[in-house]
Structure 1
Amino acid sequence: MKFNGQDIYQVAVIGLGMTGRSCASYLLKQEIIPLLVDTRVGLDKGALKQDFPQCEIVLANLDDIDFSAYQLLVVSPGIAIKQAAFEKARAQGCIIAGDIELFANSVDAPVVAITGSNGKTTVTSLLEAMANASGIKAVAAGNIGVPVLDVVADKSIELFILELSSFQLETTDNLRLKAATVLNISDDHMDRYSDLNDYAQAKQRIYRHCEMPIANRQDSLTHLIDARGQSFGLDCPANNNEFGLKDGYLMQGQQPLLAVDDMAMVGQHNQLNALAAIALGKQVGLSLDAMVSTLRVFTGLAHRCQLIPSSDGIVWLNDSKATNVGATLAALDGLQTHQGNIVLIAGGDAKGGDLSPLTQSFEQQISELIVMGKDAALFSAIRSDAHHVESMQAAVKLANTFVNPGDIVLLSPACASIDMFVNYMERGQQFMDAVGRVNEH
């Protein structure tokens, strides 16, 4: 197999979740039989062997494995690359890469990519819908849940739209992009990065081989050092390289594109998402009419400020995808004009993040705060009258006692879900199920 100009024969795949299994399947199609490794010693080795009978499978601590015979280690994004086992492997001449780098060595069609602390799944899905409305066969892949190596061989695809996490970008060096954006940077994954600048630098790797970088001009951490590229923001654009807002319209320069009131998505954060998607779409030749038409009907995604049908006059919003502080702030910013009470359900695993940016919103917007999960006490440090509960059902039942018709109950945890739930989707579904039970009474 050719990889970055080298002939590669000896490969190990580290991490056997969805991405790792996708990498293993891809490598087997390239006639490479990889070593499969996972540090979770409790995995069902028999089931793995059934799926990959040709491969040797090792379940062990990375420090206990000798990688000296391997040319390439393909590391899944959930595994930190800053650890002794990988430093030792590099010193022995081993290449450390991820699935996106394998994709970069195989892809023929144009590629655009989106990263950021918040909004990247929405922008990726929105751009895919815009491309398909323009008559271009596009596929969204990457961190959105479709492994890139599962779709790279499909020659009918005319445009790849990738959602990329900072973890994926850490192991990506040669991805060539028609356009890319860093939507925003806020405190996240501080259990993996030394500080916010370290995290931002991982995100900015997306611009390395990018023809048109597109930054959020109101977030300096998304910018390139040089002045290349285009930008978007909530202010008035100064020229045609800027997308923004003026007099209630989405704009490119001085050209009105769409009244924000005609968008199916609500909230200023979604206006930013729309501007980013249009800027990206223009770089790959999408029809402006098709993009505008898509914005009129695209309502957003599940678990992202999702309105739950209710018969009680209370507005129940499922924003379970808000796994960091920036996402919760964006949700609250979108509700600033609300006149009634807002009850917030938050908490989970804060991933070492700083919750203090929530202080002002908690004081000025939130009538009651309900918290749960591993880091519930961190929220109480900001808001001393926070109510502690042990389950989502209890949170919803308690929230229901605080509200009247016209009030809002917002699930926007500002935390990861893995301390109590399988993932943010299960968390959101439990919220919706609990709301349904409350409405039955």
Structure 2
Amino acid sequence: MKRIVILGAGESGAGAAVLAKKEGLDVFVSDMSKISDKYKKLMNDHDIEWEEEHHTKDKILNADEIIKSPGIPFSAPMIQKVIEKGIHIISEIEFAGRYTDSKMICITGSNGKTTTTSLIYHIFKSAGYDVGLAGNIGISLALQVAESPHKYYIIELSSFQLDNMYNFRANIAILLNITPDHLDRYNNCMQNYVDAKMKIIQNQTEDDSFIYWNDDPIIKKELSRYDIKAVKCPFAELKEKGAIGYIEEGKYKIEKPTPFNMEQEELSLTGKHNIYNSLAAGIASNISGIKKDIIRKSLSDFPGVEHRLEKVTKVRGVQYINDSKATNVDACWYALESMKTPVILILGGKDKGNDYNAIKELVKEKCVGLVYLGADNTKLHKFFDQMEIPIKDTHSMKDCVTACYEMAKSGDTVLLSPCCASFDLFHNMEDRGEQFKTLVKNL
């Protein structure tokens, strides 16, 4: 019997364990952290052996194959031992893909993944399609394949998940953009990160579609290096040679496979970055045969994504916006670019090798105050203090919100768009956003 060892017992790991057990494999799950009660119960209900807060070397290194949680870096000691022994490491998505023939619509990019994935899922659900939401969002693909299979899956893929994918095939692959992110996980080498993102098109055939942003300089450069078999479906902000989705004279337009258009002002998502997200989602839905009236209505009534430019409330004439999902510099750039009022910007967290030059001019133009929120704000001080914008230094969300309340004037916007990961002070970016929202609503 083939032995599968799963490292990490979060959503993806526990889901992979259930699928492996269902397929009759010998399964063992190990997590260096404490496992949540939810996933303990799931594994116990399926009679799956697990351990927490340590790794038993002998029970791991006898595996035929390892399924690694995307959050575990390759530098982790146990992963290094697995590599030394030559045991094949795969992702939960790769594993789940072996046991389903469903259509896979896969989305990656440095920014906009969650919004685009959620929007496509919204359109498919509105059209009555049998569809599941998976990857970095929703229930793990493996658990759905095991217990509640769907005809279509809309899957958000991070570079970490793509790293360990080999034979998985995306029927529709969407590459929104590539900008520096997670370089700390890629030996501070941008090309390593780019190579991971480009894996989304591996294994595609002429029956598949590849949707991508035509204006992205890195994508443009990379396309020349690949023999792309899938049908190319580029989109751009403006009509240009080759783009099949674009904005023209205030209209949102898609040319292929069937012509579609609507007024740009009818789109529920605003801001330049969301034009791209909406174009990618519309093209994917059009390719999948969804009726135009459904696409049009869905693009108009999509409620947006929590923690992404989420309007929280107004206090004393000040708008508070939760953009906790902005965990890199480019995501913050998109948020700032969409602001129409003076901004108090909250920055900080676990730095991932950030270069803040990308937002320097927008900070000068839009910001009337900066509030640093992190365990160590030294790098922020070194870069931004010289800009002569009022600054407050904080190390808790409570102090941060208080500082914003004191700095902001009626007509301003307080924007939590941190550029950084959340793990220095918070459990995750959701925890950061929830704390922000709770404290703001209590002002």
For normalisation by structure 2, the TM-score amounts to 0.88
Correspondent of 1:267 among 254, 257, 271:
271
Q: 1:143: how far off?
A: 0.7
Equivalences for residues 31-430 of structure 1 within 5 A: 31-40=24-33, 48=40, 51-52=43-44, 54-55=48-49, 57=51, 59-60=53-54, 64-65=57-58, 67-81=60-74, 86=79, 89=82, 92-153=85-146, 157-194=150-187, 195-210=189-204, 211-223=208-220, 224-225=223-224, 226=226, 229-239=232-242, 241-253=243-255, 257-310=261-314, 312-335=316-339, 338=340, 340-384=341-385, 385=389, 386-430=391-435
- Partners of 2:438 and 2:53 in 1: CA distance: 37
2:270 counterpart letter in structure 1: V
Q: Which residue is equivalent to 1:4? A: none
1:391 counterpart letter in structure 2: S
- Partners of 1:425 and 1:88 in 2: CA distance: 33
Q: Equivalent residue of 1:315, what SS?
A: strand
1:267-287 deviation line (CA, Å, top 9, x unaligned):
111111000101111222222
Q: Which residue is equivalent to 2:5? A: 12
- Partners of 2:48 and 2:285 in 1: CA distance: 43
1:56-81 deviation line (CA, Å, top 9, x unaligned):
6375468x557553211111111123
- Partners of 2:250 and 2:283 in 1: CA distance: 18
Cα distance change of structure 1 residues 250 and 12 upon mapping to structure 2, 3 Å threshold:
same
- Partners of 1:350 and 1:30 in 2: CA distance: 41
Q: Which residue is equivalent to 1:5? A: none
Q: Equivalent residue of 2:154, what SS?
A: strand
1:345 counterpart letter in structure 2: I
Q: Equivalent residue of 2:67, what SS?
A: strand
Cα distance change of structure 1 residues 65 and 346 upon mapping to structure 2, 3 Å threshold:
farther
Q: Equivalent residue of 1:400, what SS?
A: helix
- Partners of 1:124 and 1:250 in 2: CA distance: 19
Tell whether the 8 Å contact from 1:22 to 1:150 is kept in structure 2 after alignment. Answer: yes
Tell whether the 8 Å contact from 1:184 to 1:222 is kept in structure 2 after alignment. Answer: yes
Tell whether the 8 Å contact from 1:359 to 1:382 is kept in structure 2 after alignment. Answer: no
Q: Equivalent residue of 1:265, what SS?
A: coil
Q: Equivalent residue of 1:73, what SS?
A: strand
Tell whether the 8 Å contact from 2:375 to 2:395 is kept in structure 1 after alignment. Answer: no
Moved more, 315-324 or 48-57: 48-57
Tell whether the 8 Å contact from 1:341 to 1:403 is kept in structure 2 after alignment. Answer: no
Q: 1:313: how far off?
A: 2.2
Tell whether the 8 Å contact from 2:17 to 2:48 is kept in structure 1 after alignment. Answer: no
- Partners of 1:142 and 1:49 in 2: CA distance: 21
Q: Equivalent residue of 1:359, what SS?
A: helix
- Partners of 1:101 and 1:10 in 2: CA distance: 16
Tell whether the 8 Å contact from 1:237 to 1:252 is kept in structure 2 after alignment. Answer: no
Cα distance change of structure 1 residues 289 and 82 upon mapping to structure 2, 3 Å threshold:
farther
- Partners of 2:115 and 2:172 in 1: CA distance: 17
Cα distance change of structure 1 residues 93 and 219 upon mapping to structure 2, 3 Å threshold:
same
Cα distance change of structure 1 residues 100 and 399 upon mapping to structure 2, 3 Å threshold:
same
Q: Equivalent residue of 1:100, what SS?
A: helix
Cα distance change of structure 1 residues 391 and 83 upon mapping to structure 2, 3 Å threshold:
closer
1:294-317 deviation line (CA, Å, top 9, x unaligned):
011113111110112325322211
Moved more, 157-166 or 252-261: 252-261
Q: Equivalent residue of 1:413, what SS?
A: coil
For normalisation by structure 1, the TM-score amounts to 0.89
1:357-416 deviation line (CA, Å, top 9, x unaligned):
222222222111110103422222221153201222222222223333322111111111
- Partners of 2:105 and 2:210 in 1: CA distance: 10
Aligned length in residues? 424
- Partners of 2:440 and 2:344 in 1: CA distance: 14
1:232 counterpart letter in structure 2: F
Tell whether the 8 Å contact from 1:345 to 1:410 is kept in structure 2 after alignment. Answer: yes
Tell whether the 8 Å contact from 1:349 to 1:417 is kept in structure 2 after alignment. Answer: yes
Q: 1:327: how far off?
A: 0.8
- Partners of 1:363 and 1:407 in 2: CA distance: 15
- Partners of 2:174 and 2:314 in 1: CA distance: 37
Q: Equivalent residue of 1:35, what SS?
A: strand
1:231-276 deviation line (CA, Å, top 9, x unaligned):
112122435x521111122122496612221112211111110001
1:154-206 deviation line (CA, Å, top 9, x unaligned):
57622111011111111111112221111112221111012222111101101
- Partners of 1:232 and 1:214 in 2: CA distance: 7
Q: Equivalent residue of 1:34, what SS?
A: strand
- Partners of 2:254 and 2:41 in 1: CA distance: 54
> RMSD of aligned C-alpha atoms?
2.5
Tell whether the 8 Å contact from 1:178 to 1:284 is kept in structure 2 after alignment. Answer: no
1:437 counterpart letter in structure 2: N
Moved more, 168-177 or 247-256: 247-256
Tell whether the 8 Å contact from 1:183 to 1:222 is kept in structure 2 after alignment. Answer: no
Question: Identity over the aligned pairs, expressed in percent?
Answer: 29
Provide structure 2 residue ranges, at least 5 long, that are not aligned to the other structure: none
